[in-house]
Amino acid sequence: MDDIFRTNLENAINESGLTNAEIARRIGVGRSTITQWLKGVSSPTQSKIVKIAVTLNKEPSWFFIDNTKKQRVINNLTDKQLTLAMSVDPDITDEQLQQAINYVRFMKEQEDKKNDTNGKN
């Protein structure tokens, strides 16, 4: 397995609050097996990846996505941006998301025009 898998596995374990021993018990391997996966000495089978994902509340594909860029973007969001992002329904369609973005931009433009007219800018 590559570094992305190992990094994501380590992050998921840390986020879960579970010990390696508890995760190992739940997926049916020894604790040393988890350590070997984290060190890149060995790799889990596809069926074990599914069990890991279920145990750690992730989709199996999540372990193979480079989340570092996404995390850097999240870390740079302002509190207002993060609040807005977290308030969006995860089932929103791409079209609905674009409409929401357009509406927020429209409202900001209206506020900016209002402030320009009132001499606040």
CATH number at residue 34: 1.10.260.40
Residue-by-residue DSSP string for 27-40: HTS-HHHHHHHHHT
Residues 43 and 95 reside in one and the same domain:
no
Average pLDDT, the chain: 87
Per-residue pLDDT at 56: 96
Mean pLDDT, residues 8-35 taken together? 95
Tell me the C-alpha to C-alpha distance, in Å, between residue 89 and each of 5, 15, 44, 96.
28, 22, 34, 10
- Residue 17 belongs to some domain of the structure: yes
Per-residue pLDDT at 121: 54
Mean pLDDT, residues 14-32 taken together? 95
Report whether pLDDT(112) > 80: yes
Mean pLDDT, residues 12-36 taken together? 95
pLDDT digits (tens, 9 = 90+) for 47-90: 999 999 999 999 998 899 887 777 777 777 788 887 887 788 88
Phi/psi for 93 (5° steps) reads: -80, 165
Structurally, the chain folds into a number of domains equal to: 2
Q: How far apart are CA 101 and CA 121, in angstroms?
A: 24
Per-residue pLDDT at 120: 58
* Domain range for 49: 3-65
Q: How far apart are CA 52 and CA 28, in angstroms?
A: 10
Report the predicted TM-score, pTM, of the whole model to 2 decimal places.
0.58
